[in-house]
Amino acid sequence: MLGTVIALPGTAFVIVMYMSLVETILRGSKVAAGVLAVQSLAATVTVSLIVWLRYRRDRQIGLLITLVAAAAIWLWGQHLWEAISSTVLPHYEGLKPAERAQAVGQYRLAVVQACAAAGGVIALLYTARNYRLIRRGQVTDRLSKALERLESREEFVRLGGVIALQQIIHDAPAQAEHVTHIVRTFIRRQAPKSAQSTPLGVQAAPSGLLLPQGCPAPGPEKPAADVQAALTALNTRHAKLHSSRIDLSGYHLAGAHMLRQDLARAQLSGAVLTDAVLTRAALGRAGLEECDLRRVWATKSRCNKAQMAGADLREALFIKADLVACDLTGADLRHAVLSQSDLQQATLRGAKLSGAYLVSTDLSHADLTGVTTEEEPVHLDESYLEQARLNNAVLRNASLIGAKLRHADLTDADLTGADLTGADLRRARGLTVDQLLAAGSIEKARLDPTLHAACRRNAPETEPAAGGPVGQELQP
């Protein structure tokens, strides 16, 4: 209140002082004009700071400091002006009357133009401030109406509210952080919680059918339109700038379309994302433990260092995906397609790989201890398994044609019936003759000289059964 009381008459006082300054300059009084100019400047600074401090804390202390500084300028302003007057006002000594009149006219014109320019700048600043205030009010009004729509029971009304929020994110980047928080809260409120997922191949109960007691009702095959629109709104450019660690753990988002979605560091543990589209999505360091990712489409997705322990990835499509250092401990990868993906340093301890397709996949330095492929063979043709840990892995009937297994740890690995045609097994650790003789085919496999000679010595003299390793061409 004090600031407002002082600022209003102070502004009028400053205007009067500047008018007096212009009049004094036009009269040609240099000293008086200088003193008045300094005093006008001091008054301007004083009023400006008062207005600024009107909206700041401790404005009484700030006001006191401002008044002291203005008083100092007011008292000693004349000495300051005398020091700089030679560069402020023109000198008319030695000029003829006509030249003097012309100089005075030009000087007066310059003063008028400067005052007009200053007034224009002030008016422009004032207009810009009013525009910002009006625009802020419009955004607030739009936000209020959008929030009212989100409370509706009608899905299409909520959809309109989400679209309005998305438009606000685009039109008002300054409000993007608050709006994205609202959108995330809306998703958590509207998306259903996940129940126990139905087994692969089991159809969900049709609508209206009574389920046995204790059996969870299957979730929807795809998210509602308003939830899908909210997920899309979080993927806009301004929303990404303010995206934080979203938590959707335990929610049912089956069939969600999240193309290029930024889910880095997101928490999705226990969520249901079956049949979701995650093409080129960013899932780096995301928490996907026990997540249902069956039949998910994640081509060229970036899942480096994602936590997928115990996740269900049956029939998932991860072609050319970045899965470097990903934790897939105990994950179910049966019939999953991970061709040409990067799984360097990934952890697949105890993972199920029956029927998985990992052709040309880079598994260098990966940990595949205890993986199982007992039901159906895994396809690891042309895959990179250099220095991979495959100890105790069950790779029965696995297809390892042309696989790179140099320096891999194959201690106690079950290679019964595995196709090692053209595989590079040089310097593989823990590899024994018995493992090679139990393999389905080692034709043109590249072995260390000692293993090559041992396989020749231990080969039976009788003609081997079809598909057996004996008598096949080996490369040392």
Rounded to an integer, the average pLDDT of 365-373 is 86
Residue 2: per-residue pLDDT: 45
Rounded to an integer, the average pLDDT of 450-472 is 60
Residue 174: per-residue pLDDT: 82
Residue 466 pLDDT > 80, yes or no?
no
Residue 220: per-residue pLDDT: 81
Residue 465: per-residue pLDDT: 35
Average pLDDT, the chain: 79
Is 125 a member of any domain?
yes
- What are the pLDDT digits (tens) for 120-150? 888 888 888 888 889 888 999 999 999 999 9
Is 201 a member of any domain?
no
Q: Which residues contact 389 (CB under 8 A, 6 or more apart)?
A: 366, 367, 368, 369, 408, 409
Q: What angle do CA 436, 335, 358 make, to 5 degrees?
A: 55
Of 56-65, 123-132, 205-214, 331-340, the one with minimum mean pLDDT is 205-214
Is 346 a member of any domain?
no
Of 48-57, 203-212, 357-366, the one with minimum mean pLDDT is 203-212
Residue 44: per-residue pLDDT: 64
- What is the SS3 assignment for the chain? CHHHHHHHHHHHHHHHHHHHHHHHHHHCCHHHHHHHHHHHHHHHHHHHHHHHHCCCCCHHHHHHHHHHHHHHHHHHHHHHHHHHHHHHCCCCCCCCHHHHHHHHHHHHHHHHHHHHHHHHHHHHHHHHHHHHHHHHHHHHHHHHHHHHHHCCCCHHHHHHHHHHHHHHHHHCHHHHHHHHHHHHHHHHHHCCECCCCCCCCCCCCCCCCCCCCCCCCCCCCCCCHHHHHHHHHCCCHHHHHCCCCCECCCEECCCCECCCCECCCCECCCCECCCCECCCCECCCCECCCCECCCCECCCCECCCCECCCCECCCCECCCCECCCCECCCCECCCCECCCCECCCCECCCCECCCCECCCCECCCCECCCCECCCCCCECCCCECCCCECCCCECCCCECCCCECCCCECCCCECCCCECCCCECCCCECCCHHHHHHCCECCCEECCHHHHHHHHHHCCCCCCCCCCCCCCCEEC
Task: Tell which wins on pLDDT, 469 or 158.
Answer: 158
Is 29 a member of any domain?
yes
Residue 90 to residue 57: CA distance in whole angstroms: 44
Is 256 a member of any domain?
no
Looking up tokens 């100092």 gives 72
Is 25 a member of any domain?
yes
Residue type for 205, please?
A
The confidence band for 86, taking pLDDT boundaries of 50, 70 and 90, is: low
Is 469 a member of any domain?
no
The confidence band for 388, taking pLDDT boundaries of 50, 70 and 90, is: confident
Is 454 a member of any domain?
no
- What are the pLDDT digits (tens) for 239-252? 666 566 789 999 99
Residue 319 pLDDT > 80, yes or no?
yes
How many domains does the chain divide into? 1
Of 54-58, 101-105, 183-187, 468-472, the one with minimum mean pLDDT is 468-472
- What are the pLDDT digits (tens) for 2-61? 444 444 455 555 555 555 555 555 555 555 555 556 556 666 666 666 555 555 555 565
User: What phi and psi, each to the nearest 5 degrees, are found at residue 388?
Assistant: -75, 150
Structural domain span for residue 57:
2-90+100-145
% of the chain surpassing 90 pLDDT: 41
